[in-house]
Amino acid sequence: MPNLDRAPLPLASEHDTPFRMRDGTILRGDVHRPASGGPFPTLLVRSPYGEGSFRAVPKIPALEAGFAVVFQHCRGRGSSDGVFRPWLDEGTDGYDTIEWITAQPWSNGEVMAYGMSYLAGCALQAAALRPPGLKAVVATMTPHDFHDGLKYHGGAFALGSALYWGSMQAMLTLTHAAQAGEDVRAGFAELRPVIGAPARAARTLPLRDIPGIPWWEEWISHPERDDYWRELAGTMRHEDIEVPVMHTAGWFDVFLAGTLENHRRLGGPLVVGPWSHGASTGALDFGFAASAPAARVEARQLDFLRGADRGPAVRIFVMGDDVWRDEEAWPLARAVGTRYHLHPDGGLSTDVPAGDTPMTFVFDPRDPVPTVGGPVLFADAGNVGPQDQREVELRPDVLCFTTDVLDADIEVTGPLSVTLRAATSAVSTDWTAKLVDVHPDGRAMSVIDGILRARTEPGRPAEFVIDLVATSQVFKAGHRIRVEISSSNFPRFDRNPGTGRTGAETTEDELVVQHQTVFPGSFITLPVVPR
């Protein structure tokens, strides 16, 4: 019978420890450390989601690895005082917290910051201020910028995720105020229909009329990267981050572009798995090996923070083959950008179309193409990642271009984009593109999608490049590669009214039907890896 021969690890823990910030605000959190020995390096995690968000953090593995662990609630959240302002205070509050930690008798003066999503952003924002005690960061699935890739993608407002995250944070704000004894009945009454019926709320026009979310009008009133967003960007200057950073991403994560951009700017190890914003892999099963525990991601993150990481520079999960693979760098130098042309007969091939027949469809923003899976952050956790697109493809406002059945595997790994030669009858429109893996049984499983919001001269052809971010997908022999082209993906993105004005200021009656033309000379550029 196996004997593990493990000794108990006595712990010293303190709940609701106060941390005084430079402006006098008291933040609170929990401190855990071995009861004897030390001094210890410290793992710091800061969260705006309350105590529940700390449960997924590897507290026990960190303690066993010799860390003290500090969980702190962001201001205006959990048991911390103050008012929550998304992103604005996290850099200075993180700096002040690190100073507090390094002054404790149990601290060895070294702090490592850890987190996913907003929590990872907190870590990077603190790192940009260079607190002397911060030595390393693990940043998982987090944006690189507060405008591009967070609230706006390709110029389109990320309506679905903004509505979900904003309403959740509004609810947490009201809950926090209620705990402080304030009367929040009116606020909950205003927010209830948004949380209770998000699909209906997403169709609100003008968009600024969505109630109950304190920061909503600011987000939708600044579609361009203006001074509002530049001020926020100043809280996370990549050029000021000097500590080593490890990055973890998901092929179906809403912040895939952000994590890859953080890696490009900051360097450090990169791990990308077949995950959405969490552990879900949508409607496909990539096998047990695809899970983060099976890949020992958490153990490697702790090794990295201890300065003991010996892993590869880049580790990616190659979908289709469903295997992990180590690489020297991202993107892969051996990938060959290969154009697959969109043919008027619905074909997709490396051959240039012989004719010049245009392809047309009509987009009515009153009946947008529904979001089915993809890199989304919705209240509906099931509508995420790879999903079957066959019902979407039946719509007359979705153009499909498909290869012949493949006689050999084709690996697509790296950044990819769609280049359209197109025209619209409107002064403004959206162009959307989606890469799809068509299985032998007919399933049309989404891989990645993107959008571009464009202002053009009505009727005049122009070139539009739609960023599809990146993937690692092997299209197996017997499968087919498909590209979908349309002008909406709702509610992942807001509807383009076609008037040149934003949805924030447009009523339902003002929506313009848009007549779209796609010309030969359009193509998708796939990073094909020789096999």
Nearest by Cα to 336 from 526, 531, 475: 526
All structural domains of the chain? 12-147+239-327 (3.40.50.1820), 157-230 (no CATH), 336-529 (2.60.120.260)
**Selected catalytic residue, list 79, 107, 117, 486:** 117
Q: Assign 3-class secondary structure to 117-148.
A: CHHHHHHHHHHHCCCCCEEEEEEECCCCCCCE
**Selected catalytic residue, list 147, 247, 277, 343:** 277
Instruction: Look at residue 4 in the predicted model and tell me its pLDDT.
Output: 83
- Averaged over 466-479, what is the pLDDT? 98
Instruction: Name the band, by pLDDT with cuts 50, 70 and 90, for residue 382.
Output: confident
Instruction: Look at residue 339 in the predicted model and tell me its pLDDT.
Output: 98
Going by the DSSP 8-state scheme, the letter that residue 275 receives in this structure is -
Q: Is the pLDDT of residue 438 over 90?
A: yes
Q: Where are the beta strands (DSSP E) in 266-409?
A: 270-273, 314-318, 323-327, 336-342, 348-349, 359-363, 399-402
Instruction: Look at residue 340 in the predicted model and tell me its pLDDT.
Output: 98
**Is 12 strand, coil or helix?**
strand
8 A C-beta contact, residue 433 and residue 400: no
Residue 472 parent element (H or E): strand 462-475
Instruction: Look at residue 48 in the predicted model and tell me its pLDDT.
Output: 97
Instruction: Look at residue 278 in the predicted model and tell me its pLDDT.
Output: 75
For residues 74 and 28, give the distance between their C-alpha atoms in angstroms, rounded to a whole number: 8
Instruction: Look at residue 213 in the predicted model and tell me its pLDDT.
Output: 97
Query: Is this prediction's pTM over 0.85?
Result: yes
* Residue 204: Cβ-neighbour burial (10 angstroms; 0-12, 13-18, 19+): middle
Q: Is the pLDDT of residue 355 over 90?
A: no
- Averaged over 356-377, what is the pLDDT? 96
List all residues 6 or more positions away from 460 whose beta carbon is below 8 Å from its beta carbon. 423
Taking CA atoms, 385 is separated from 129, 274, 278, 382, in Å, by 35, 9, 11, 9
Render the burial of 376-395: b for 16+ CB within 10 Å, e for the rest: bbbeeeebbbbbbbeebbee
Instruction: Look at residue 380 in the predicted model and tell me its pLDDT.
Output: 81
In sequence order, what are the beta bridge partners of 340? Answer: 524
- Averaged over 373-380, what is the pLDDT? 89
Taking CA atoms, 89 is separated from 112, 114, 164, 333, 523, in Å, by 19, 17, 22, 39, 44
List all residues 6 or more positions away from 8 whose beta carbon is below 8 Å from its beta carbon. none
φ/ψ of residue 394, rounded to 5:
-75, -15
**Selected catalytic residue, list 89, 96, 253, 388:** 253
8 A C-beta contact, residue 115 and residue 123: yes
For residues 251 and 54, give the distance between their C-alpha atoms in angstroms, rounded to a whole number: 24
Give 248-306 pLDDT, tens digit per residue: 999 999 999 999 999 999 999 999 999 999 777 889 999 999 999 999 999 999 999 99
In whole numbers, what is the pLDDT of the chain averaged over residues?
96
List all residues 6 or more positions away from 326 whose beta carbon is below 8 Å from its beta carbon. 312, 314, 315
117 catalytic? Reply is: yes
For residues 522 and 152, give the distance between their C-alpha atoms in angstroms, rounded to a whole number: 25
Give 196-254 pLDDT, tens digit per residue: 999 999 999 999 999 999 999 999 999 999 999 999 988 999 999 999 999 999 999 99
- Averaged over 300-327, what is the pLDDT? 97
Residue 177 parent element (H or E): helix 159-179
For residues 445 and 483, give the distance between their C-alpha atoms in angstroms, rounded to a whole number: 11
Render the burial of 177-191: b for 16+ CB within 10 Å, e for the rest: eeeeeeebeebeeeb
Instruction: Look at residue 361 in the predicted model and tell me its pLDDT.
Output: 98
Give 111-168 pLDDT, tens digit per residue: 999 999 999 999 999 999 999 999 999 999 999 999 999 999 999 999 999 999 999 9
Instruction: Look at residue 3 in the predicted model and tell me its pLDDT.
Output: 83
DSSP string, 225-249: --HHHHHHHTTS-GGG--S-EEEEE
Task: Label the pairing between strands 107-116 and 40-47.
Answer: parallel
For residues 154 and 465, give the distance between their C-alpha atoms in angstroms, rounded to a whole number: 10
Nearest by Cα to 236 from 163, 313, 145: 145
Share of the chain above pLDDT 90, in %: 93
Instruction: Look at residue 5 in the predicted model and tell me its pLDDT.
Output: 82
Give 45-73 pLDDT, tens digit per residue: 999 999 888 888 999 999 999 999 999 99
Instruction: Look at residue 487 in the predicted model and tell me its pLDDT.
Output: 98
Question: How many alpha carbons lie under 13 Å from residue 444 in its C-beta half-sphere?
Answer: 18
8 A C-beta contact, residue 403 and residue 412: no
Q: Is the pLDDT of residue 379 over 90?
A: no
DSSP string, 180-217: TT---HHHHHHHHHHHH-HHHHHT-SSGGG--S-TTHH
Instruction: Look at residue 263 in the predicted model and tell me its pLDDT.
Output: 98
Instruction: Look at residue 24 in the predicted model and tell me its pLDDT.
Output: 98
Instruction: Name the band, by pLDDT with cuts 50, 70 and 90, for residue 479.
Output: very high
Instruction: Look at residue 302 in the predicted model and tell me its pLDDT.
Output: 96
Instruction: Look at residue 322 in the predicted model and tell me its pLDDT.
Output: 97
Q: Assign 3-class secondary structure to 84-119.
A: CCCCCCHHHHHHHHHHHHHCCCCEEEEEEEEEECHH
For residues 438 and 425, give the distance between their C-alpha atoms in angstroms, rounded to a whole number: 32
